[in-house]
Amino acid sequence: MSSAFDEKLKEFKEYVSKIEYLNSAISVLYWDMRVGMPKKGINFRSDVLGYLSTEAYRMQTSDAVKEFVTYFEGAQDLDKVTSSMVEKIKREYDKNKKIPEDRFKEYVILTSQAEDKWTQAKNEKNFEIFKPYLEKIVEMNKEFLNYWGYEGNKYNTLLDFYEMGMTVEKLDKVFGELKDAIIEILDKIKASNYTPDDSFFKGDYSKESQEELGREALKAIGYDFDAGRLDETMHPFTIEFCNRDVRITTKYHEDDLRPSLFSCIHEGGHAIYEQNIPDELNGTTLGTGVSMGIHESQSRFYENIIGRSKEFWKYFYSKLIKIYPQFENVSLEDFYKGINIVKPSLIRVDADELTYSLHIIIRYEIEKMLINDEIKVEDLPMVWKEKYKEYLNVEPKDDSQGVLQDIHWAGGSFGYFPSYALGNLYGAQFFNKMKQNIKDIDEKIEKGELSVVKEWLSENIHKHGSVYKPSEILKMATGEELTAKYFIEYLKEKYSKIYNF
């Protein structure tokens, strides 16, 4: 490469670094706002965040970016990091700049109002309050799709924002298989007439003791507390300021230890991903998890495949008993069944491992229909009820338990939900390969040697950051394309043992 090229690349990376610095600052301010800001600080903090976000947006959509992209797109023989960097920056630029500026601004204001209205509607259990806003959001998304363009199904473009390369064609296949399999397993569970006991979980668990348990679990799976911290918040999340400062938050329910424990392990999965992306990718925009789906594959893998496995609890149960001696009277077997109890329910975030994906598939089917004009926004409460009845055999009493339960649509995030279920599929595919690579993995997990798990994930997934597409990472790590096969096998094996069918 010429020295002019090197100079330009240096300039480009410096420019991109500044956007990263701004985004890191925004994240710190956001974290602080959620975790510890005194309540009177909110107005000024919103102004500061508004200013910094506008600056970051301005930098991401500037003519300078257009120039860089034009320069590097035309360049020969780019190394992989640079070409991925250019591609990612271009995607972001196009997503924003293809929309006329006044329409884009209108949309930002609309979604911000819609989030308020959603909150009100949810509190008042009344979809009508939210409906006109959601209608407008859906309309504008359809309008934007004309600017963005699409191949095949219109919904593909929205999917692609969160999971590059994902299509309706691929999802219809894997989600269709998964849906049938889960419903079949659910039927067998029902027929088994068996329900594990989980009454022993009810108790009085102080925040302090739960925090101690969460920390133990995070240490066990390999979360690095020198590059992160654990705090309490209303709605648990993970946030990274850089790969060496990735923070977890959780919420404690004082009558049950499970929500915060598994939320810690889930967020720990996200955080371990970010913590193990190499320093070299700083300043390239690629030093972060590649997609929502791959991210969820890490969190749901740790939460369920590891965190709800018998192997892990053979190691970890004594640590739990040390903090909560009352579990000395509960056998490991009963405990294991208790954390894997299956109960079809109305609320996605409270769903068990087995039925969780059905919640997602319902949302996927609905979004696809909405975007393709097969249903109207006004039909949503009814369609929602029908699908929940059909797939899960439960019926919401009101909209707050139904179509209003998630905030995503108020923010215009169509195409996001599938990531959660994709995470389950990816995770099982990774685990299948991991077991082939590490023959005695079960014994290792039972001994608490979870570093082998983290190392496999780091070597096959984390280290790539966002350099490769999700499908490329999957292929490189497992040698296969996306399939529902391994997750279905895993579910069948696990739940047939627990429910004896």
Binding residues vs a copy of itself (CB under 8 A): 17-18, 21-22, 24-25, 28-29, 32, 36-41, 43-45, 47-48, 51-52, 224-229, 241-242, 244-245, 247, 282
Choice among 267, 274, 303, 353 that is catalytic: 267
4 CB-side CA count, 13 A:
4
Q: Which residue has the tokens 């969820």?
A: 296
When the beta carbons of 282 and 478 are compared against a copy of itself, the nearer one is 282
Give CA–CA dist 208/210, Å, rounded: 5
When the beta carbons of 26 and 114 are compared against a copy of itself, the nearer one is 26
When the beta carbons of 11 and 493 are compared against a copy of itself, the nearer one is 11
Q: Which amino acid is at 77?
A: D
CA angle at 330 for the pair 326 and 332, rounded to the nearest 5°? 125
Q: Report residue 399 as tokens.
A: 């909209």
CB of residue 51 to a copy of itself, shortest distance in Å: 4
When the beta carbons of 45 and 125 are compared against a copy of itself, the nearer one is 45
CB of residue 219 to a copy of itself, shortest distance in Å: 14
When the beta carbons of 271 and 403 are compared against a copy of itself, the nearer one is 271
CB of residue 147 to a copy of itself, shortest distance in Å: 31
CB of residue 241 to a copy of itself, shortest distance in Å: 6
When the beta carbons of 250 and 424 are compared against a copy of itself, the nearer one is 250
Give CA–CA dist 122/369, Å, rounded: 23
CB of residue 242 to a copy of itself, shortest distance in Å: 4
The string of DSSP codes covering 321-351 is HHH-GGGGGS-HHHHHHHTT-----S-GGG-
When the beta carbons of 117 and 215 are compared against a copy of itself, the nearer one is 215
Give CA–CA dist 345/392, Å, rounded: 7
**Residue whose C-alpha is closest to residue 438's, from 424, 428, 451:** 451
Q: Report residue 149 as tokens.
A: 């363009």
The string of DSSP codes covering 97-149 is HTS-HHHHHHHHHHHHHHHHHHHHHHHTT-HHHHHHHHHHHHHHHHHHHHHH-
Q: Report residue 98 as tokens.
A: 């293809």
462 annotated among ligand-binding-site residues: no
**Residue whose C-alpha is closest to residue 283's, from 7, 9, 1, 6:** 9
Kindly report each contact of residues 90-93 with a partner whose C-beta sits within 8 Å and lies 24 or more positions away, as own/partner. Answer: 91/164, 92/60, 93/60, 93/61, 93/65, 93/66, 93/69
Give CA–CA dist 458/464, Å, rounded: 8
Bridge partners for 246 per DSSP: 240
Is 55 tagged catalytic? no
Give CA–CA dist 186/164, Å, rounded: 32
CB of residue 62 to a copy of itself, shortest distance in Å: 15
CB of residue 215 to a copy of itself, shortest distance in Å: 13
270 annotated among ligand-binding-site residues: yes
464 annotated among ligand-binding-site residues: no
Pair 254, 204: CB distance under 8 Å = yes
Residue ranges of the annotated binding site are 266, 270, 296
- Binding-site residues from annotation for Zn(2+): 266, 270, 296
Active-site positions? 267
